[in-house]
Amino acid sequence: MRWRNGPDRFGLITRMLHWAMGLGIIGMLGFGTVLSRMQPSLGNIWLYGLHKSVGLCLLALVLARLAWHRISPPPASLTEGIAPWQVAAGRWAHRLLYALMLAVPLAGWIGSAATGIDVQVFGLTLPNPFPVSEAWDKGGFLAHAVLTKLLMAVVALHVAGALHRALWHRDGTLRRMLRA
Amino acid sequence: MRRLAFRPLLGLWLIVAAALPATAATRSYALEAAGSSVAFSVAFGADTITGTMPVLRSDLKIDFANVAASRVAVDLDVTGAQASFPFASQAMKGPRVLDAAEFPQISFTSTAITRDGDTARIEGNLTVRGVTRPTVLTARLYRPAGSSPQDLDQLTVILDGALARSDFGATGWSDMVGDTVHLTITAQIRATT
Ligand code: HEM
């Protein structure tokens, strides 16, 4: 079992982080959309707490992922036979994904904290480093709503790109993220 | 909670006044914090949020001979407000609703008091979130069971009213939480003069 990344393969830690976060993010994009259309009541208000808890865990995971890739750098993309614009598109999609994996939960946290309500991760109250103010509340949630739409688009592009490589080019791009 | 057994007093208002020397007709009262509360309720979907807010200061003068000469001024401590479920207190005190950090007090000052059968109609100015609006409260005055009609040392005032929080800019979560907030203020008061 190889935990670390190699020059041309993904180690177990990176692959686990990738799929756990992929599942989590796609799930949260759906969950958040349901949440924003839900009629809240005493019976379902706990769903907000669950959304915040899972979202903050995803924020912790992206930080762990960035740290891990400093310790154990991931392999370079497979580019043989790929049009340069597609290589560039893939690189920018990945950069944007990382930026949004940070910005989306951060915006949700900022908006939530600005209402003056304690932000908790599965019952544990976090210290609040953000201002409690109506402007930050509005700004945070506006950013959360807009950036999640962008994230949906980039995730769709990312999945399409991976499938295109797997089904059309049949290079190892998808396979090496699935198994060693 | 203490069981209260009080007799309506307002009906006796004039009779009481007649039995008292004219100079003693206006009396000042101090609020007894222990038996007093400001309770509110507001719709939350199909449910109701209830809560309380502590009284910070009160200035109560009751003129038993001439109800119109009575006056009421009360300040409430927004920062000490409590609501019936965990996050409702924080939500209510946060910037979207009462903004306790910016506006730590709610105050009410009577402008006109009139008798209305067994109750009194108290018109006044209510200040919430720094916005002042005319508001009407209905008051009923009780004395403890067993006390003599002349004994006005200890009384209970129950005030009922409602306000539209949108009038004061306290509009947070208006898609979830109702606009009309019902108030029931129970004030146990003791004469100081
Ligand atoms: C990767 C993490 C996250 C994803 C993918 C995500 C996704 C979403 C989406 C798609 C929405 C619906 C937005 C709209 O259409 O208005 C939403 C709403 C919401 N999110 Fe997140 N979220 C994440 C993290 C967080 C975090 C960390 C918090 C708070 C600590 C949070 C708090 C909220 C709240 C309170 C709403 C409801 C806003 C409303 O009702 O208008 N989210 N989220």
**What CA–CA distances, in Å, run from B80 to B35, B76, B89, B100?**
17, 9, 9, 9
pLDDT at B14: 39
* Nearest neighbour of A134 by CB, restricted to B45, B47, B95: B95
pLDDT mean across residues, chain A: 95
Q: Apex CA B18: angle with CA B14 and CA B20, to 5°?
A: 120
State pLDDT tens for residues A45-79: 999 999 999 999 999 999 999 999 999 999 999 99
% residues pLDDT > 90 (chain A): 92
Continuous segment of H or E residues that includes residue B163: strand B154-164
CATH 2.40.128.110 given to domain B3-18+27-191: yes
What's the rounded Cα separation, in Å, for the pair A136 and B44?
25
Please indicate whether residue B38 or residue B146 has the higher confidence score (pLDDT): B38
Amino acid at A53: S
Measured in angstroms, the CA of A104 and the nearest CA of chain B are apart by 22
Strand ranges inside B32-151, DSSP E: 37-44, 47-53, 55-63, 71-77, 82-83, 105-116, 119-128, 131-144
Q: Using only C-alpha atoms, what is the Rg of chain A?
A: 18
Q: Is the pLDDT of residue A1 over 80?
A: no
Q: What is the mean pLDDT of residues A29-58?
A: 94
- Chain B within 8 Å of A137 (Cβ-Cβ)? yes
Spacing, Cα A53 to ligand 1 middle (Å): 11
Q: Which of A41, A148, A152, A154 to mutate to test the pocket of ligand 1 (most atoms within 8 A of CB)?
A: A148
Minimum CA distance residue for ligand 1 atom 19: A32
* Nearest neighbour of B95 by CB, restricted to A40, A45, A137: A137
Q: What is the mean pLDDT of residues B56-69?
A: 88
Q: Chain B contacts of A45, Cβ < 8 Å?
A: 85, 87
Q: Which of A11-15, A39-43, A49-53, A137-141 has the lowest mean pLDDT?
A: A39-43
Tokens representing A150? 């962008």
Q: Which of B78, B176, B177 to mutate to test the interface with A (most CBs of A within 10 A)?
A: B176
What's the rounded Cα separation, in Å, for the pair A106 and A95?
17
Q: Chain A contacts of B172, Cβ < 8 Å?
A: 115
Q: Is the CB of A29 under 6 A from ligand 1?
A: yes
Domain extents in chain A: 12-178
Here the ipTM equals: 0.82
pLDDT at A40: 84
In chain B, the largest separation of any two C-alpha atoms, in whole Å, equals 56
CATH 3.30.700 given to domain A12-178: no
Q: Which of A36, A37, A46, A117 to mutate to test the interface with B (most CBs of B within 10 A)?
A: A117
pLDDT at B2: 36
Measured in angstroms, the CA of B104 and the nearest CA of chain A are apart by 14
pLDDT at A148: 98
pLDDT band at A180; cut points 50, 70, 90: confident
Q: Apex CA B48: angle with CA B80 and CA A108, to 5°?
A: 70
State pLDDT tens for residues A77-120: 999 999 999 999 999 999 999 999 999 999 999 999 999 999 99
pLDDT band at B75; cut points 50, 70, 90: very high
Spacing, Cα A121 to ligand 1 middle (Å): 14
pLDDT at A47: 96
Q: Are A88 and A79 in contact (CB under 8 A)?
A: no
User: A39 vs B93: CB contact, 8 Å cut-off?
Assistant: no
